[in-house]
Structure 1
Amino acid sequence: MLPSVSVIASFALVVGLLTVTPGLDTALVLRSAAVSGKRRAFGVIAGIQTGTLLWGFLAAIGVSAILLASAQLYDAIRLVGAAYLAWIGGRMIWSAIRGTGTAGAGDDGPVSGDSFFRGWRQGALTNLLNPKMGAFYVAILPQFIPEEAPHIVWGLALAGVHVLIGSAWSTALALVAQKSSRWLRRRKVSRTIDGVTGTVLVGFGIGVALEGSALRPHMGAHA
């Protein structure tokens, strides 16, 4: 028994609005496509969608609910995720300051070492270390899965819809950035992109780290 067309359409509308809202994924994809090259960008996209699919699976089997029910476990993942975002953002800012790690002026080739796998690893870790994804799936998924339906099958099917929408949107963003890649890879421009993207990531990391005080009382009521 798979989700009906109406259920899929309703879920697609919800996750579609989430997907097109500018955020962490958008910043990573645009930066990777503009500065690091096509392989890295599509690796980031694949990593993000791998994380999305896994969150859907975990929510379907109840692991994400356990995560939200335990303030200590949630805080641990939240702080690790915040530290990771601050680390990669800080590296980008340092690269922008020193002028290293990006293609030089007039260089149309991708940055050395920016492989598909490196992009996949960054995208997957960023997604999986973001507890907000788990919170989203725990809050939204049960509303679309009937009690008698096979939760794992439905969870993966609906997460697959999210993956398709996210992949299409991220690919469009990457292709747009690629169209201007020659200009975007100029040293001054790429350093600016690294600086802006790094600042955004550090900001996200600080936000994730500081949000715990607001969430903990709510979570404690469910522990």
Structure 2
Amino acid sequence: MLEQLAAFVLTCLVVVVVPGPDFALVLRDAPRGTRAATTAAAGIMVGNTVLAALAVLGVTALLGASEVVGTGIRIAGAAYLLYLGVRAFAEAFAKPKSGQPPAPAAERQPGGASPFVQGMVSNLLNPKVAVFYLSLFPQFNVAPLPPLAQHALMAGIFLLIALAWYVLLLSALKKVTGVLARPRTGRIVVGSSGAVLVGVGGTILTQTLVSA
């Protein structure tokens, strides 16, 4: 049991730390200040918690068994990532209106929705998160616990690791908030984050359409 748990923890560390759409969203909001980045991370964690609960209850498996539903979620998720990426590009390359100074990075908010909502929706529609729960949980056996308790334990471990990662990430970003708030640096960070979001969204959409 301990060996299985140790292997699961190591796998979770790799999954959480490797940069993806969630990381790009937090990084995109970092130039706006610690509060915006923290709010985005909170939304991502809420999305993670909802998906973990659905996975434990077996709802994720039922949804994954439907090809139509799975395809719809992947397309919706890819479209939302593309939308966020394009909005980030628009912000990064937007020119201030004539006679007006550029707005401080902390005051700019693309897309209308709050960072919390964007983080939560992006995580909920991220097919890779659902696939993580569907494909990873069955690979580990932490008997003598029953299956429901096993999945609940693994979901809890994953959420704790994700939470610890975002605490460390936000602490690191807080130390460089002043640098990130500079207009030029902020544009570079937001533009780079937008490129990641567009790249991931485009890849998911292409793979989904090709396999459909």
TM-score normalised by structure 2 residue count: 0.84
State yes or no: 1:211 paired with 2:207: yes
Query: Does the aligned pair in 1 maintain the 2:34–2:174 contact within 8 Å?
Result: yes
1:20 alignment partner in structure 2: 17
Aligned mates of 1:213, 1:118 — CA distance in 2: 30
Query: Does the aligned pair in 2 maintain the 1:59–1:141 contact within 8 Å?
Result: no
Aligned mates of 2:168, 2:55 — CA distance in 1: 28
1:221 alignment partner in structure 2: none
Deviation at 1:18, TM superposition (A): 0.9
Deviation at 1:67, TM superposition (A): 2.2
1:128 alignment partner in structure 2: 124
Matches within 5 A, 1:96-115: 96-99=92-95, 110-111=106-107
Q: Which one-letter code corresponds to 2:25 in the other structure?
A: L
Tell me: CA distance 1:92–1:81, structure 2 relative to 1, closer, same or farther (3 Å): same
State yes or no: 1:91 paired with 2:87: yes
2:7 aligns with one of 7, 10, 15: 10
1:176 alignment partner in structure 2: 172
2:163 aligns with one of 159, 164, 167: 167
1:142 alignment partner in structure 2: 138
State yes or no: 1:50 paired with 2:80: no
Identity %: 34
CA RMSD of superposed structures (Å): 2.7
Aligned length: 206
Aligned mates of 1:146, 1:180 — CA distance in 2: 41
Q: Which runs of 5+ in 2 are unaligned?
A: none
2:181 alignment partner in structure 1: 185
Deviation at 1:200, TM superposition (A): 1.1
Aligned mates of 2:60, 2:194 — CA distance in 1: 29
Q: Which one-letter code corresponds to 2:176 in the other structure?
A: S
Tell me: CA distance 1:202–1:195, structure 2 relative to 1, closer, same or farther (3 Å): same
TM-score normalised by structure 1 residue count: 0.80
Deviation at 1:171, TM superposition (A): 2.1
Q: Which runs of 5+ in 1 are unaligned?
A: 217-223
Deviates more, 1:90-99 or 1:138-147: 138-147
1:76 alignment partner in structure 2: 72
Query: Does the aligned pair in 2 maintain the 1:30–1:173 contact within 8 Å?
Result: no
Tell me: CA distance 1:160–1:89, structure 2 relative to 1, closer, same or farther (3 Å): same
Aligned mates of 1:193, 1:73 — CA distance in 2: 34
